[in-house]
Amino acid sequence: MGYGSLAASLAPALRDAGYEITEIVMASRAGRESVRRARALAKEVGARAVTAGDAALDASVLWLCVPDRGIRETAAAIAAPLSALRRQRGTQRPVALSGRKSGLRFAFHSSGALLSDELVALRNAGIAVASVHPLMTFVVGGRASLSGVPFAVEGDAAAMRIARRVVRDLGTESFILPSRGKAAYHAWATMTSPLLVAYLVTLEEAAGRAGLTRGQARRMSLPIILQTLSNYGRLGPANSFSGPFMRGDAATVAKHLALLRNDPVTHSVYVALARAALKLLPVKNRAEVQRLVESASRCPVVRKGHK
């Protein structure tokens, strides 16, 4: 259910793994562009493009790829006719829905922040539910590969077993996430990509002080960024660490802090990362560098042109 960036990556991957996608389900009041995108995705994976009201739900798994704010409401709307028909028949077996036999037994959502409890209406209708979140970024205009992407799984035991089997068939790995760990997991995921982008755009600000445009900063930063990531993956954090903090070059760190004092955002990012380095990485001349960083954090930072 859904046809956005996540669905556009997930549905073809499932098809390529040997799964039949029966329907791409869109909102009953979908606009023209949404209908076009849903139909294009459905055609690509050999499915029907249908509205929620016309969905047969004739697959065994329903995978909700909708915004977080709509998960609970969508689940309730799908569950209502299922619950009514099952009450009429007095059974938990598959029932007819929209004129067809529904074999729906499992439902997943892919929110990194929300628990499987968002699907409580479907659970109450006799369907096993789980949250199945790929640790990957999905953006408009791009299609992410799911190769090697880990999936965090949380929910009902039966649904988790199916989810982990599906993930294996996608050629990657999954791990069970305790419900109490969901918020911490999503904070980690947010730091891994969205806030990494925030850090990268802060690099553009710093490069601007050296006379570079934002475009130049992006282009010229990429080689060292990619090499750092490669080193981190191969060698681990300590052996990937270099520069003035690793050397304990307090004089250079002091120059950086003085230069950035009239740029509050860049200064605060530098100080926060310096503190992380001092706590977690091998910094020489640690005491002197730490005094500099802590002193800078207490000094007022003034934006250029302001008193």
Average pLDDT over residues 95-107: 63
Question: Do residue 200 and residue 53 come from a single domain?
Answer: no
pLDDT in tens, 103-117: 899 999 999 999 999
pLDDT in tens, 225-239: 999 999 999 999 999
Helix/strand/coil (H, E, C) string of 81-114?
A: HHHHHHHHHCCCCCCEECCEECCCCEEEECCCCC
- Cβ–Cβ < 8 Å for 95, 72: no
Q: Report if residue 143 sits inside a domain.
A: yes
Quick one: pLDDT at residue 84? 60
Average pLDDT over residues 268-274: 97
Q: Report if residue 149 sits inside a domain.
A: yes
Quick one: pLDDT at residue 95? 42
Average pLDDT over residues 97-126: 86
Domain-terminating residue out of 180, 202, 218: 180
Q: Report if residue 306 sits inside a domain.
A: no
Question: Do residue 128 and residue 22 come from a single domain?
Answer: yes
Q: Please give the full DSSP string across 23-36, using - where no structure is assigned.
A: EEEE-TT--HHHHH
Average pLDDT over residues 127-141: 95
Question: Do residue 198 and residue 131 come from a single domain?
Answer: no
Instruction: Kindly tell me the burial class for residue 104, based on how many C-beta atoms sit within 10 Å of its own C-beta (0-12, 13-18, 19 or more).
Output: buried
What radius of gyration do the chain's Cα atoms show? 25
Question: Do residue 293 and residue 173 come from a single domain?
Answer: no
pLDDT in tens, 181-198: 999 999 999 999 999 999
Q: For residue 248, which amino acid is it?
A: G
Question: Do residue 203 and residue 128 come from a single domain?
Answer: no
pLDDT in tens, 202-225: 999 999 999 999 999 999 999 999
Q: Report if residue 201 sits inside a domain.
A: yes
Q: Report if residue 187 sits inside a domain.
A: no
Quick one: pLDDT at residue 301? 61
Question: Do residue 160 and residue 63 come from a single domain?
Answer: yes
Question: Do residue 103 and residue 146 come from a single domain?
Answer: yes
Question: Do residue 84 and residue 230 come from a single domain?
Answer: no
Instruction: Kindly tell me the burial class for residue 111, based on how many C-beta atoms sit within 10 Å of its own C-beta (0-12, 13-18, 19 or more).
Output: buried
Domain-terminating residue out of 180, 212, 234: 180
Closest CA to 3 of 42, 32, 52, 31: 42
Q: Which CATH number goes with the domain that contains 72?
A: 3.40.50.720
Cα distance between residue 258 and residue 261, in whole Å: 5
Q: Report if residue 304 sits inside a domain.
A: no
- Cβ–Cβ < 8 Å for 85, 61: no
Exposed e or buried b per residue across 123-132, where buried means at least 16 C-beta atoms within 10 angstroms of its C-beta: bebbbbbbbb
The structure tokens listed for 267 are 């200064």
- Cβ–Cβ < 8 Å for 158, 130: no
Quick one: pLDDT at residue 30? 78
Cα distance between residue 278 and residue 181, in whole Å: 27
Per-chain mean pLDDT for the chain: 91
Number of neighbouring beta carbons within 10 Å of residue 48:
17
> For the chain, what is the domain count?
2
Q: Report if residue 307 sits inside a domain.
A: no
* pLDDT score of 89 more than 60: no
Domain-terminating residue out of 180, 202, 233: 180
214 is in which domain, residue-wise? 194-298
Determine the 3-state secondary structure of 154 from DSSP.
Answer: strand
Average pLDDT over residues 243-259: 97
Quick one: pLDDT at residue 141? 79
Question: Do residue 88 and residue 155 come from a single domain?
Answer: yes
Does the model's pTM come out above 0.95? no
Rounded to 5 degrees, what are φ and ψ at 144? -85, 140
Question: Do residue 54 and residue 24 come from a single domain?
Answer: yes
Size (the chain), residues? 307
Question: Do residue 254 and residue 153 come from a single domain?
Answer: no
Tokens 């601007």 found at = 208
Question: Do residue 144 and residue 249 come from a single domain?
Answer: no
Q: Is 233 left (phi over 0), alpha (psi -120 to 50) or beta?
A: alpha
Percent of the chain whose pLDDT exceeds 70: 91
* pLDDT score of 53 more than 60: yes
Quick one: pLDDT at residue 202? 97
Q: Report if residue 185 sits inside a domain.
A: no
- Cβ–Cβ < 8 Å for 161, 154: no
Q: For residue 51, which amino acid is it?
A: T
